[in-house]
Every structure is written in structure tokens, then in C-alpha cells.
């Protein structure tokens, strides 16, 4: 699981450019699924059919997004410095001084025009990327080129640190859940979605095509366990979080109850999540077509949308256990 997560997080795949990470996921899920396809927006959909004799199987869609935040070049000046804008929620406080890797392999360093006061909010339009060029003519990137943060995967005991754990942590959780489920009375669709960071776009089209009865998004959630953090109960190492509410959706109480009962019956630690910032693919799944009974399972993550996000391996393992316990039995509502 750790090695797969290392491979996934060290792959560069900003929103709209998910091809390279999708290839890795496809190799993992193809032997495990009954059907695999890629839709028009690039979502990878792996279906595990209900076992023979299953009565009234529920069609369940599970979603984890493949994409990560990034930047895109908008201008190159005469000295070869590249101005850029964001793809998804790239925050100035994390971006200044970062290294970025372009999809063509070029590495750059993010600088700032001039710091008047170090505590000021740092807008992206005052930043530039230094790719080592000396002129516009010898600059190895051009307008429209896309990059993501460049940072390797490391282990700190049970804590794992990398870029793009949002949401490669969810991706590896779905892969390992698909691997763990030997048979199911449900009709399961494991969907690795595109363009979540720019508006949960892939999940919306995938849900429309699948038309599920139940939807579950698997994503990371910010924590409240660092100094002076927001007043939220989510902590690293205390188990996966059952979402009640975030900015974009209110979980269906029936799905919440299903998750909690499954966790308690299997003696899996879990946390109750009310998220004060952000949302997930669950938002789009819930309002697809005539509406879908939807919830979300969240993996606690510190420093979300930075180049050094942090999760706990035990939360990943318990997320797999909980989803496996839920999906291996009939979803009765």
C-alpha cells in the first residue's frame, strides 16, 4: 500500500491532465474488476458485478479523484520568467519558494516580485517561475504549459508525507478495497474521477452515466489537530471520518447511519466529520439526474493543498476495512 501510494503521489497529474496517473491505476484495477472503461471526460470506471444469485443488488458508485492542484503559465517576460495562474486551490502561502515540475519535465522555482512584509497574504499574480532561462527565446516552457508541485514521498513513522495525497490517498483506498472484496451482493462502480479540484466535473459526468442508487466519495479532509487550527474534531490516527456536512453538501442520514453501524459492528475506529471549508465529489454525485443517496468517507490530512500533505497509514488501512465491511454485504435501506 505504501509503495503504491508513493508511486501515485510522485506522478504528476494536474486537473485536466490525468493521463499518467490513470495509466498506473488502470494496471492495478484491470485484473480486479469485471469491466473497466474510460469515459469522455477521462474518468476511469471499474465495475465489480454482484455475485451470482444476488437479490435486488444496489448500484453503488464510489469516487476518488485522480487529479491534483497545479499551475498554468500565462505569460513569459523578456528575461524568461514565467507568470502563472492556478489550476485548483493553489494557495500563495504554500506556493512561494516551491519547486514545480512541468509535464514536459522542466523544473522551476517559484519566486515573488518583492516582499514588503513577510506576513502579508501572498497573491499568485505577484509570483513568477524561474526555470533557469535568460531570455524569452531560450525559455523551455510556453504559455499554456502546466505544472504541479515537485516533492518526494517520505515516511515519518506511521505518518506519510507527499504532494497530492489529496486525493491519491483516496485512490489507493479504493484500489485496496477493490482488491479486498472477493464477492459482493452489490453492483459496485469504483470511479477514479477527473477535474475534482476545478469543480468536481468528472464526478458529475460519471454519476450521470452510471445513474447509481447510492454514492460515496472517498477524499481527504483537513484536520483540527494542529496548533491554532479551526475548531474541528478530525485528527490523524483516530480513524476514517464519516461526513455529516461540508460546504457543498449534507450527507444523506441513511448513508451516514450505514457507515457508522458498519464501523461499530466491525470495531473499526471512526470519527464524525463536520467540515467548515471545502467539499468533495459527493456534491456532484448527490445532485446528478434526479438525485442520489450520497455520503462521504474522509481520510484526515494535515496541510491540505500544500506540497507536503500528511496522512496516517492506520487511517488508510481502517478506511479500506470499513469500505470492505460495508460493500461485502447487502446495502439495506
CATH architecture for residues 70-149: Beta Barrel (2.40)
- Give how far Cα 322 sits from Cα of 243, 275, 298, Å: 14, 20, 12
Q: Are 190 and 48 in contact (CB under 8 A)?
A: yes
pLDDT value at residue 123: 87
Boundaries of every domain in the chain:
2-68+163-327, 70-149
DSSP string over 103-140? TTS-EEEEEES--S-TTS---GGGEEEE-S-SSSTT-S
pLDDT (tens digit per residue) in 202-212: 999 999 999 99
Query: Is 196 an active-site residue?
Result: yes
pLDDT at 118: 60
pLDDT at residue 174, as a whole number:
98
Distance of CA 31 to the CA centre of its chain: 23
In this prediction, residue 114 carries a pLDDT of 76
CA-to-CA distance for 252 and 197, rounded, in angstroms?
A: 23
pTM for the model:
0.94
**Catalytic residue (choose from 196, 197, 284, 309):** 196
Does domain 2-68+163-327 match CATH 1.10.10.10? no
- Which residues of the chain fall short of a pLDDT of 50? none
Q: Specify the pLDDT at position 233.
A: 87
Residue 60's pLDDT is what?
98
Amino acid at each position: 500500500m505504501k509503495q503504491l501510494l508513493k508511486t501515485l503521489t510522485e506522478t504528476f497529474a494536474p486537473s485536466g491532465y490525468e493521463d499518467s496517473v490513470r495509466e498506473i491505476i488502470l494496471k492495478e484495477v484491470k485484473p480486479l474488476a469485471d469491466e473497466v472503461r474510460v469515459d469522455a471526460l477521462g474518468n476511469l470506471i471499474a465495475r465489480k458485478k454482484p455475485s451470482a444469485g444476488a437479490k435486488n443488488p444496489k448500484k453503488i458508485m464510489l469516487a476518488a479523484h485522480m487529479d491534483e492542484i497545479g499551475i498554468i503559465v500565462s505569460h513569459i517576460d523578456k528575461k524568461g520568467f514565467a507568470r502563472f495562474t492556478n489550476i485548483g486551490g493553489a494557495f500563495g502561502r504554500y506556493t512561494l519558494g516551491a519547486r514545480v515540475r512541468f509535464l514536459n519535465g522542466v523544473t522551476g522555482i517559484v519566486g515573488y516580485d518583492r516582499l514588503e512584509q513577510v506576513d502579508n497574504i501572498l497573491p499568485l499574480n505577484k509570483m513568477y517561475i524561474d526555470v533557469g532561462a535568460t531570455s524569452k527565446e531560450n525559455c523551455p516552457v510556453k504559455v499554456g504549459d502546466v505544472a504541479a508541485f515537485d516533492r518526494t514521498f517520505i515516511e515519518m513513522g506511521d505518518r506519510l508525507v507527499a504532494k497530492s495525497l489529496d486525493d491519491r490517498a483516496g485512490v489507493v483506498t479504493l484500489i485496496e478495497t477493490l482488491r479486498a472484496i472477493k464477492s459482493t451482493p452489490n453492483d459496485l462502480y469504483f470511479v477514479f474521477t477527473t477535474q475534482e479540484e476545478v469543480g468536481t466535473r468528472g464526478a458529475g459526468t460519471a454519476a450521470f452515466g452510471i445513474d447509481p442508487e447510492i454514492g460515496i466519495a472517498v477524499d481527504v479532509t483537513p484536520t483540527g489537530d494542529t496548533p491554532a487550527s479551526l475548531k474541528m474534531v478530525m485528527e490523524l490516527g483516530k480513524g476514517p471520518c464519516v461526513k455529516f456536512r461540508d460546504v457543498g453538501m449534507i450527507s444523506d442520514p441513511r448513508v451516514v447511519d450505514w457507515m457508522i453501524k458498519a464501523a461499530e459492528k466491525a470495531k473499526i475506529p471512526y470519527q464524525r466529520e463536520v467540515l467548515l471549508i471545502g467539499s468533495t465529489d459527493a456534491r456532484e454525485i448527490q445532485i446528478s439526474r434526479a438525485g442520489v443517496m450520497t455520503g462521504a468517507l474522509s481520510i484526515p490530512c494535515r496541510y491540505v493543498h500544500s506540497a507536503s500533505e500528511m496522512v496516517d497509514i492506520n487511517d488508510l488501512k481502517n478506511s479500506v476495512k470499513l469500505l470492505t465491511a460495508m460493500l461485502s454485504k447487502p446495502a439495506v435501506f
